[in-house]
C-alpha cells in the first residue's frame, strides 16, 4: 500500500509505503490549539514515511513534536516516542482507505461543539493499537 499527501502550498510532500492506522480524532488542548478545532490523524511506522521538503518542527512537550509547513502553516505530523508518526488525515491525497474509528481526549473537548457520531469516545489517551503494535 502507498499513500501520499502534503501541505497546502506543496512545499512539503510525503509518501507512506506501509499500512495506515484507522483515523483517530483527538480533542486534547494541544491539538485544538494547533488546528483551531480538533485533529483527525492516522499513523504509520516512521520507517515507512518519506518526507520531501523540510517541515518545521515545534516541541509541543518533553516527548513529542509537531511538524508543519513553514511556508503555508499546514499541520502535517505529530511525532512522539513510539516507532510511529501521526499524519493529519486531511493532508492525505485521494482516498487511502482509512476511516474515522474513535475519539480521544474527549474530556478536553471544546465547549462549543458536540461529538454526534456513534464512534467510541475515550476521556483520555488512545484506545486503539498503533500500527507498530500490530506489526
Residue 57, domain CATH: 2.170.150.70
Indicate whether 100 belongs to any domain. yes
Q: Comparing C-alpha atoms, which of 132, 127, 82, 124 is closest to residue 106?
A: 124
Indicate whether 15 belongs to any domain. yes
Q: What is the domain count for the chain?
A: 1
SS3 23: strand
* Cα 100 to Cα 23, 30, 71, distances in angstroms: 4, 20, 28
Indicate whether 29 belongs to any domain. yes
> How far apart are alpha carbons 83 and 131 in whole angstroms?
9
Contact between residue 50 and residue 65 where contact means Cβ atoms under 8 Å apart: no
Q: Give the predicted TM-score (pTM) of the model.
A: 0.91
Indicate whether 134 belongs to any domain. no
Indicate whether 133 belongs to any domain. no
Indicate whether 135 belongs to any domain. no
> How far apart are alpha carbons 72 and 130 in whole angstroms?
29
Indicate whether 77 belongs to any domain. yes
Q: How many CB atoms lie within 10 A of CB 106?
A: 18
Instruction: Work out the burial of residue 62: count CB atoms within 10 Å of its CB; fewer than 13 is exposed, 13-18 middle, 19 or more buried.
Output: exposed
Instruction: Give the pLDDT confidence score for residue 9 in this predicted structure.
Output: 98
Per-residue pLDDT of the chain (135 residues; tens, 9 = 90+): 799 999 999 999 999 999 999 999 999 999 999 999 999 999 999 999 999 999 999 998 999 999 999 999 999 999 998 899 999 999 999 999 999 999 999 999 999 999 999 999 999 987 666 555 554
φ, ψ of residue 30 to 5 degrees: the values are -65, -45
Write out the residue range of the structural domain in which residue 93 sits: 3-128
Amino acid at each position: 500500500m502507498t499513500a501520499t499527501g502534503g501541505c497546502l502550498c506543496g512545499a512539503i510532500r510525503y509518501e507512506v509505503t506501509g499500512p495506515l492506522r484507522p483515523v483517530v480524532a483527538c480533542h486534547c488542548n494541544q491539538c485544538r490549539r494547533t488546528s483551531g478545532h480538533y485533529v483527525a490523524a492516522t499513523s504509520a511506522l516512521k520507517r515507512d514515511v518519506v518526507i520531501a521538503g523540510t517541515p518545521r518542527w515545534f516541541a509541543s512537550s518533553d516527548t513529542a513534536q509537531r511538524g508543519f509547513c513553514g511556508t503555508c502553516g499546514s499541520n502535517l505530523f505529530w511525532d512522539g516516542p513510539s516507532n510511529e508518526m501521526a499524519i493529519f488525515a486531511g493532508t492525505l491525497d485521494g482516498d487511502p482507505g482509512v476511516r474515522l474509528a474513535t475519539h480521544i481526549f474527549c474530556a478536553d473537548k471544546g465547549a462549543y461543539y458536540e461529538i454526534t457520531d456513534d464512534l467510541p469516545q475515550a476521556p483520555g489517551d488512545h484506545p486503539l493499537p498503533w500500527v507498530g503494535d500490530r506489526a
